[in-house]
Amino acid sequence: MPKSNSSADTAVTTAQKLVETTAKKPSDVFDDRGRTVPWMARTVHRLYDAQSQKLLDGEGIPIAYWYYLRVLAERGEVNQLELSKRVGIASTTAVPALDNLEKRGLVKRVRDPYDRRKYLVTLEHEGKRLVDELLPDLTNMIAASLDGISEKDLRVFWKVMHQIETNLCQMAEGDTAVD
């Protein structure tokens, strides 16, 4: 007779009880299809990315690069580490993206005069032009995605999203930058 792995059995039993418990009662964490708020946020984000990419394809800009351009358009000159935090991407991942954007003449990196270990990143004229040209179309796409939602529901939505952001930022204890 094979031996039982008690910790694995316990984990399976615990998981099954959790699923059964959640399936029997309404929950604030799961919707009627068993999805969580982060799951839905990710799904909506992916759908926005797909629609945005269609608009960005005309300029050959990957959606991942758009986030850098957008933050720089809003913030102006930012050091490379701060930029990667605001975009929500690891700083090591930012380097090849910024290399590409710099080669295309969309951004410029210069050494920080006060700390030579750091780089400051700014939008070049062409990067500003691109943001100015693409932002209205992206904004219109986002506005169209809100069709059928009342102003009152949108105010509630924003209030809820800002509270979730506040709660998560408090949990992160300053580990993330939010734009």
CATH number of the structural domain spanning residue 56:
1.10.10.10
Query: Residue 10: what pLDDT?
Result: 63
In a domain, 46, yes or no: yes
Collect all residues with Cβ–Cβ distance below 8 Å to 154 and sequence separation of at least 6. Answer: 146
Query: Residue 83: what pLDDT?
Result: 93
Q: At what angle do helices 80-87 and 91-103 cross, to 10 degrees?
A: 110
In a domain, 80, yes or no: yes
In a domain, 114, yes or no: yes
Cβ neighbourhood burial of 104 (10 Å; 0-12, 13-18, 19+): middle
Query: Residue 2: what pLDDT?
Result: 54
In a domain, 42, yes or no: yes
Query: Residue 140: what pLDDT?
Result: 97
In a domain, 90, yes or no: yes
Q: How many domains does the chain have?
A: 1
Query: Residue 22: what pLDDT?
Result: 54
Q: What does pLDDT average to in each consecutive run of 10 residues of the chain (179 residues)?
A: 58 58 64 90 96 96 95 94 90 91 96 88 96 97 97 97 92 73
In a domain, 23, yes or no: no
For 125-157, give the secondary structure using H, E and C.
Answer: HHHHHHHHHHHHHHHHHHHHHCCCCCHHHHHHH
Give the DSSP H or E segment for 107. strand 107-112
Residue 86 structural domain: 38-144
In a domain, 171, yes or no: no
- Taking residue 131's Cβ as centre, other Cβ atoms within 10 Å add up to 19
In a domain, 91, yes or no: yes
Cα R_g (the chain), whole angstroms: 22
Query: Residue 20: what pLDDT?
Result: 59
